[in-house]
Structure 1
Amino acid sequence: MLNQLSTGVKQYLVVTGNYWAFTLTDGALRMLVVLYFHQLGYAPLQIALLFLFYEFFGVVTNLVGGWLGARLGLNRTMNIGLALQIVALVMLLVPAEWLTVAWMMVAQAFSGIAKDLNKMSAKSAIKTLVPADAQGRLYHWVALLTGSKNALKGFGFFLGALLLTWLGFAGAVLVMAIMLTLVWIASLFLLKQELGRMKNKPKFTDVFSKSRAINVLSLARFFLFAARDVWFVVALPVYLSQTLGWDFWQIGGFMASWIVAYGVVQALAPRITGKADGRVPGRNATASWGLALAITPLLILLGFYLQWQPDTLIITGLLLFGLLFAVNSSVHSFLIVSHARSDGVSLDVGFYYMANAMGRLIGTLLSGYVFQVWGLTACLWISALFILLAALIALAMPKPEITNTTSQ
């Protein structure tokens, strides 16, 4: 069956496999760092600072990475990303006394660069393989890639907590470094086609989008992901441990299950938003789903005010938030790939995910600081405000909405 596939599709499958392997280690490493350093007695803001360079260099990487992908080919940017993640993991295999905040920030910088090189390469590759008049099929492929990635990230969260319990911090990092090295070696031999390489070498100034649709989507994406991370990245796992008394197994298992379910919903987003009826989402659908999501943190806040059982409230609220956020994220991901230019797709996708990384950066910092000073409820208020802004900004997307419904 694989022999009947085109060379381009085979190469895309290799890109996807690389992305999946990387995502598994990325999710595991995130959970390892949060739980391990919380165990060592680090304050929430200190834990958030560990990810400062991870998110900051994600912003830089998406700009530079899109340009590199257009000049060098997505196969090379993918392999560079895998190699940098291995470097980040090896940096954590030093003696425990070397694992200072500064050392961790540098290691996380390499990991952040690696993660966004991989994401940009995988998302951009889809555009090169789907005909311009097949918007329904493009929506399906983007949703499937995004959903499967997040499901694997969820398994990574669980894997991180599991390895930390069984092998300790150093043992867990060593296992992941070996696994990813094997994937990287295989990729060097299998990933050869230069997907996404522009015919004419782009200037560096081309990384800044001149498209209104791309710019509006990027600003909306900034607020959407800041809204998620402001309470999910640091505040939530620390709250579960510190306030509710959950152990590593419970925290890792719960957050892993949440992200797996979130990924499944993302993959099913085309059916949820009406692709089966011949519709693909435009600006009105983007704003509507955003407004629905904004209500979720407000409902959780109402539950706190009414003094509902905290465990039940958090679990129920997160399930609803995850469902709606998954649809929002999938719709956004489809629209950016759809609106991106065909020649040099990585430039537009890179610019968009630069805004995504900036949102994560601001959300992560706020998650640590706001939770430490004012608690989880303040994080939820900020989340609701940011989601509302993302929904309203989406209304500024240019007309007409995308109406092409080719799906096969």
Structure 2
Amino acid sequence: MSPAIRQYLIITGNYWAFTLTDGALRMLVVLHFFQLGYSPLEIALLFIFYEIFGVITNLVGGYLGAHMGLNRTMNIGLFLQILALGMLAVPAAMLSVPWVMGAQALSGIAKDLNKMSAKSGIKLLVPGSEQARLYKWVALLTGSKNTLKGVGFFLGGALLMVSGFRGAVLIMGVALLIVWLASLVLLTQELGKSTAKPKFSDIMSKSRAINVLSLARMFLFGARDVWFVVALPVYLHTVFGWDFWRVGGFMAIWVIGYGAVQAVAPRLTHRKAKTMPGRGVAVLWAALLTGIPAIIAVGLGTDLPAPAVVVGGLLLFGVVFAVNSSLHSYLIVSLARADGVSLDVGFYYMSNAMGRLIGTLLSGWVYQAFGLEACLWVSSVFLLIATVSVAQFPVNQKPDDKIGAYLKSG
């Protein structure tokens, strides 16, 4: 096994372990605080610092990764998640809204340090000439991560039923502590340090291609989270009468399937051996996704069985969304400069975090004020904006831009 493969497996293992706890914690907080009588909007506000600090972390984290190395930023992310879980393991009387928001802030920083480090690290482990291999590795990392996030949703619901809120976060904290200690020993290769020592002002991307792709990413993930974060689990529990096991199970199946499709996305979008997907393919898949939330919203206004409309529609949404997400993830990693890769990837995932922030806030407010159908209409509008944005992706790149030739074929 080559050193690059070993480091890839260690990075992926860290990312998997973190993602499992992140998904479980998200489900724990939503269900536990809804059980305590919090409204959907109040639950959404518990996550506001998680998303705000995700935006900040991706910008600053890219700069830190270029200076410190990606192995260090990844381990810092794991450690901060352990601290966040520890904060939530206090007695129930101490779980005030500001305290939980503070713990979520730490978790948001941890999540995006870990994610930025993992995605940037792959860029440095794959030779620049092997774009097909890069696409497959990015898709596999992203898909497997989301599959485990789905398992985390189920785990969160199950642990809440079996061990209670405090017991669940203690179990996850101890497990992640073991992973962190192993990572300190095994993740030894220096990755991502920039030889140019970038200035802090370099955190803002100067590439039109990356800026356009980042804008599309923001609305893509805002379109998902506007119904997914708060509205859907509360809707399933209150309207369909599902218990926490069923809510957690459905969310888990959705994300597991979504991750599985992400992992095989190269087979769906990359059919020619000598060309890679570019603007045309990205626009096509974004356009296909745009109409699905609107169709679900219309279906809920008919005599069709609501469970079939919601479950079937959102499973279809998950498949098409997964392809879009995987395709965008490949494009940003490929476009990112090799020296200081974390700066470009960090900026891009800052937009991703901004989309999650907007979607999370709207998920609570729009659902509480207008219902699930309104959340789905907002989702379609966001996806239309994402489609128009990715259509502005520049075709002509500089000659030394590795992806320029691929975009022309897209």
* TM-score normalized with structure 2 length: 0.96
One-letter amino acid of the structure 1 residue matched with residue 313 of structure 2: G
Find the aligned partners of 1:142 and 1:190 in 2 and give their Cα distance.
21
Q: Which residue of 2 aligns with 1:376?
A: 372
Instruction: Report matched runs for 1:90-101 at 5 Å.
Output: 90-101=86-97
Instruction: Report matched runs for 1:4-403 at 5 Å.
Output: 4-5=1-2, 7-275=3-271, 278-400=274-396, 402-403=404-405
Aligned residues of 2:265 and 2:326 also touching (Cα < 8 A): yes
Unmatched runs of 5 consecutive residues or more in structure 1: none
Post-superposition offset of 1:278 = 4.5
Find the aligned partners of 2:303 and 2:33 in 1 and give their Cα distance.
30
Find the aligned partners of 2:274 and 2:317 in 1 and give their Cα distance.
27
Q: Deviations over 1:301-352 (max 9, x none)?
A: 1211213111111110011000000000001000000111111100000000
Aligned residues of 2:226 and 2:362 also touching (Cα < 8 A): yes
SS in 1 for 2:241: coil
Find the aligned partners of 1:150 and 1:64 in 2 and give their Cα distance.
24
Aligned residues of 1:226 and 1:360 also touching (Cα < 8 A): yes
Post-superposition offset of 1:402 = 4.7
Bigger mean CA offset, 304-313 vs 121-130: 304-313
Aligned residues of 2:154 and 2:251 also touching (Cα < 8 A): yes
Find the aligned partners of 2:116 and 2:228 in 1 and give their Cα distance.
23
Aligned residues of 1:266 and 1:327 also touching (Cα < 8 A): yes
Post-superposition offset of 1:194 = 1.0
Find the aligned partners of 2:29 and 2:361 in 1 and give their Cα distance.
15
Bigger mean CA offset, 49-58 vs 395-404: 395-404
Q: Deviations over 1:162-181 (max 9, x none)?
A: 11111010111110000000
Q: Deviations over 1:358-401 (max 9, x none)?
A: 00000000000000001111111100000010011101111147
* RMSD across aligned positions (CA): 1.2
Find the aligned partners of 1:356 and 1:286 in 2 and give their Cα distance.
17
Bigger mean CA offset, 297-306 vs 218-227: 297-306
Find the aligned partners of 1:149 and 1:211 in 2 and give their Cα distance.
28
One-letter amino acid of the structure 1 residue matched with residue 256 of structure 2: V
Find the aligned partners of 2:292 and 2:97 in 1 and give their Cα distance.
34
One-letter amino acid of the structure 2 residue matched with residue 282 of structure 1: G
Post-superposition offset of 1:10 = 1.5
SS in 1 for 2:280: helix
Q: Which residue of 1 aligns with 2:400?
A: none
Aligned residues of 2:120 and 2:341 also touching (Cα < 8 A): yes
Find the aligned partners of 1:82 and 1:274 in 2 and give their Cα distance.
34
Find the aligned partners of 2:274 and 2:307 in 1 and give their Cα distance.
40
One-letter amino acid of the structure 2 residue matched with residue 390 of structure 1: A
SS in 2 for 1:178: helix
Q: Which residue of 1 aligns with 2:399?
A: none
Find the aligned partners of 2:352 and 2:337 in 1 and give their Cα distance.
19
Find the aligned partners of 1:225 and 1:294 in 2 and give their Cα distance.
12
One-letter amino acid of the structure 2 residue matched with residue 140 of structure 1: K
Post-superposition offset of 1:136 = 1.1
**Percent identity of equivalent pairs:** 65
Find the aligned partners of 2:327 and 2:104 in 1 and give their Cα distance.
29
Q: Deviations over 1:278-298 (max 9, x none)?
A: 542111111110110011001
SS in 2 for 1:209: coil
Find the aligned partners of 1:376 and 1:277 in 2 and give their Cα distance.
43
Find the aligned partners of 1:42 and 1:331 in 2 and give their Cα distance.
37
Aligned residues of 2:88 and 2:103 also touching (Cα < 8 A): yes
One-letter amino acid of the structure 2 residue matched with residue 305 of structure 1: G
Find the aligned partners of 2:149 and 2:306 in 1 and give their Cα distance.
26
Find the aligned partners of 2:332 and 2:406 in 1 and give their Cα distance.
15
Find the aligned partners of 1:299 and 1:101 in 2 and give their Cα distance.
37
Aligned residues of 1:136 and 1:275 also touching (Cα < 8 A): no
Post-superposition offset of 1:34 = 0.3
Unmatched runs of 5 consecutive residues or more in structure 2: 397-402
